[in-house]
Amino acid sequence: MHQVRSLDGTNIAYEKRGHGPPLVMVHGSSLDHARWGSSVVRLAERFTLLMMDRRGRGASGDAPVYSIEREFEDVAAVVDAAGEPVYLLGHSYGAVCAMEASRLTSAIDKLVLYEPPFPVGNPGPLFGPDISGRLDDLLQRGERDALVELFLRDVVGVSEAELQALRRSSTWRVRVQAAHTLPREIRMAETYHFDPSRLAKVRTPTLLLLGTESPRLMHDSTMAAHAALQNSRVELLPGQGHAAMTTAPEMFLAKVLAFLEDEA
């Protein structure tokens, strides 16, 4: 693991693996840099991967007060640590951070955003009534397993069978360790103000990935990001939802590699 100091002094860790042009990878909620699963092997054959642990989990530090803006700076710090132009890939909450980081550094050659979730228009609570409060309550009681289950059921929308499979997987321990970050991220996702004008000067070639089976929220926010980014296109993931890197890794890789390796 390597570390870089973010603008507010927080140490942000990242694993470096592979050979080739640098690819910074920003995971979403509830996991750490290992979120990318089997796709890492194929990507590391073509790129030098910088897989970051977002603040508050894994080997990264944290701050007493949380702000999503600090996460934008964290991503920019890892990008700049590469010492040369990079490709940047973000998933879910990490895609929001990657999108906003594109304003803060000029060292991004291409950008891949997989379903960045944020409110569009005036939708009301995104994930049901007082979900962040219910998560907070479980955290205060030390019920971290139950917190992760609530998040996966009510926010991500996994089925009972999928939930039980996740509980048996090697990632469950990581999810439980990162449980304290979920209430703040849900609260921030529901209050984050997406301002398209902030992205008006971003000309980075951008691929937006969207699962055809993903919730309406993901569709609306992905299309809003597409409208705001001047040099972007949307690719659909047929039959997939919010985690194609796990459910259909070959499809996910085909879309990402075709975009990153296209020299046009």
* Pair 33, 105 in one domain: yes
Please, what sign has the CA dihedral across residues 166, 256, 96, 88? positive
The predicted pLDDT at position 10 comes to 98
Closest CA to 47 of 102, 83, 86: 86
* Pair 70, 199 in one domain: yes
Domain span at residue 109 reads: 2-118+194-260
Domain count, the chain: 2
Q: pLDDT tens, 82-100?
A: 999 999 999 999 999 999 9
* Pair 114, 217 in one domain: yes
pTM to 2 decimal places: 0.92
In sequence order, what E strands does 41-122 have? 48-52, 86-91, 108-114
* Pair 55, 88 in one domain: yes
Q: pLDDT tens, 117-144?
A: 888 876 566 676 688 889 999 999 999 9
Q: Is the pLDDT of residue 51 over 80?
A: yes
Q: Which of 163, 191, 219 is the last residue of a domain?
A: 191
* Pair 184, 238 in one domain: no
